[in-house]
Amino acid sequence: MDIIIKENNPEQRKILISAYACRPNMGSEPGVGWNTVMELANYCQVWVLTREENRSAIEAELIKNPIPGISFVYCDPPRWAGWWKPTQLPHYYFWQLSAYLKARNLHSEIGFDLVHHVTYVRYSTPSFLSLLPVPFIWGPVGGGEFAPKAFWQDFSWRGKVYEILRSLAHRLGEIDPFTRLTARRSILVRATTEDTAKRLYQMRASNVEVCSAIAISQEEIERFAQCAKLENSPVRFISIARLLHWKGLHLGMQAFATADLPDDAEYWILGEGPEKKRLQALAKKLNIAQRVKFWGQLSRDETLSKLSECHVLLHPSLHDSGALVCLEAMAVGCPVICLDLGGPAVQVTEETGLKIPAQTPEQVVSSLADAISCLAKDSQLRSQMGQAGQKRVRENFSWEKKGQQLLKLYETILTQKSVQEFCTSHRH
């Protein structure tokens, strides 16, 4: 790359953010986009490229809470591509084209110091903003996580078709010349997981680091910390997820059924989805229907209330890039039992929970059962892990910390003399 980095005053940094998903007071990717740019506005001059569809929500929020130092720029795909829905991949792909044309004009007027693609968090789709002649950061991007083939035997035919199509879509994206160009032109690619990092290196990315895309606001961290934890019987395990095949709840139920537990131990499942009937039938088959409670889809406040009434989060997902629920559980003070896969493996440590290797379904069920038994019997260990989890979230996963870390990263990049010097000093 023939990009030379400018040196100037940190207070005058001009940052262009690509945030296809960006909306206030929401979770998931819109929340990632919104919270990232809000924190950056504390330190830099920020321009945000996002969809026209987000305008009304953003402008309503800015009327109530004006934020200096940030400008939103709205664009949509070309008219001939506009018939695709925003949730569909072609809409996102062609939006990137419009965003590039808008960004090129903006750069000629403003002269950005750095460009950063924030959302969508998808590694197999290009960002044409990488073509601008300024340092480009891509991500965190994810999606390179796949359910190990040994676990497909338990999926319904719909689940197997989903996995095949998902894998095919990502593999086609990897060979897209524009996606590979994005990987090569990025001064830094941030991957949500080690699995995604490996895919990016195969796409010829030269500099990759692993970091989570998600966080919790300081206000919510303090709110979660106030939740009273129950240490009396019955011991309750909880899973909060869409009821999909790859969330692995069938593994959690089998492990709960075989674990060494008190007779009054309970397993609470929050969420809705196409696997609900299969899971309810499995509970009956395992003779645990009386101890497994399906609460359905609850509001955020109701979900937090249920979480505070439980002792351990059981999250046996087979390919999560993020898993905000793990951070929320740690913030509440719940230890986490998860598989050593994807985003949870990045968030959870041996001090804050138990990570289970994922080799075969039988091995996972056995190991999950051992972990469930261990934490059910040891209230002191649960307390220690809960406190460690709260500390980890405070120190590493607040949006405020994310903003500070990004500022430090930008300064590291922008005070180097060239891209090559940065890459040499910042190898993964």
In a domain, 32, yes or no: yes
Q: Is the pLDDT of residue 3 over 60?
A: no
Flag the least confident range among 6-20, 78-92, 254-268: 6-20
Mean pLDDT computed over 306-324: 91
Q: Which residue has tokens 């500099």?
A: 207
Residue 269 shares a structural domain with residue 309: yes
pLDDT band of 11, cuts 50, 70, 90: low
Q: What is the pLDDT of residues 96-122, one digit of tens each?
A: 999 999 999 999 999 999 999 999 989
* CB burial of residue 228 (10 Å; 0-12, 13-18, 19+): exposed
In a domain, 151, yes or no: yes
Q: Is the pLDDT of residue 275 over 90?
A: yes
CA-to-CA distance for 223 and 237, rounded, in angstroms? Answer: 21
pLDDT band of 9, cuts 50, 70, 90: very low
Q: What is the pLDDT of residues 379-399, one digit of tens each?
A: 899 999 999 999 999 999 999
Q: What is the pLDDT of residue 2?
A: 39
Residue 344 shares a structural domain with residue 416: no
Q: What is the pLDDT of residue 1?
A: 38
Residue 92 shares a structural domain with residue 144: yes
Residue 211 shares a structural domain with residue 258: no
Q: Is the pLDDT of residue 423 over 60?
A: no
In a domain, 266, yes or no: yes
Structural domain including 226 reads 218-396
Residue 353 shares a structural domain with residue 228: yes
Q: What is the pLDDT of residues 179-198, one digit of tens each?
A: 999 999 999 999 999 999 99
In a domain, 387, yes or no: yes
Residue 160 shares a structural domain with residue 252: no
Q: What is the pLDDT of residues 198-216, one digit of tens each?
A: 999 999 998 999 998 899 9
In a domain, 2, yes or no: no
Residue 304 shares a structural domain with residue 200: no
Q: What is the pLDDT of residue 12?
A: 73
Flag the least confident range among 86-90, 114-118, 244-248: 86-90
Residue 204 shares a structural domain with residue 272: no
Residue 309 shares a structural domain with residue 342: yes
Flag the least confident range among 33-37, 64-68, 196-200, 412-416: 412-416
In a domain, 365, yes or no: yes
Residue 155 shares a structural domain with residue 242: no
Q: Is the pLDDT of residue 334 over 60?
A: yes
Mean pLDDT computed over 78-95: 80
Q: 10 Å Cβ neighbour count for 13?
A: 20
Q: What is the pLDDT of residue 4?
A: 38
Mean of pLDDT over the chain: 89
In a domain, 92, yes or no: yes
Mean pLDDT computed over 31-59: 93
Cβ pair 251, 315 in contact under 8 A:
no
In a domain, 59, yes or no: yes
Q: What is the pLDDT of residues 335-349, one digit of tens each?
A: 999 999 988 998 999
Q: What is the pLDDT of residue 300?
A: 85
Give the pair of three-digit tokens for residue 295: 């609460």
Q: Is the pLDDT of residue 327 over 90?
A: yes
Q: How many domains does the chain have?
A: 2
Residue 97 shares a structural domain with residue 75: yes
The domain that holds 51 is classified in CATH as 3.40.50.2000
Residue 276 shares a structural domain with residue 374: yes
CA-to-CA distance for 98 and 90, rounded, in angstroms? Answer: 13
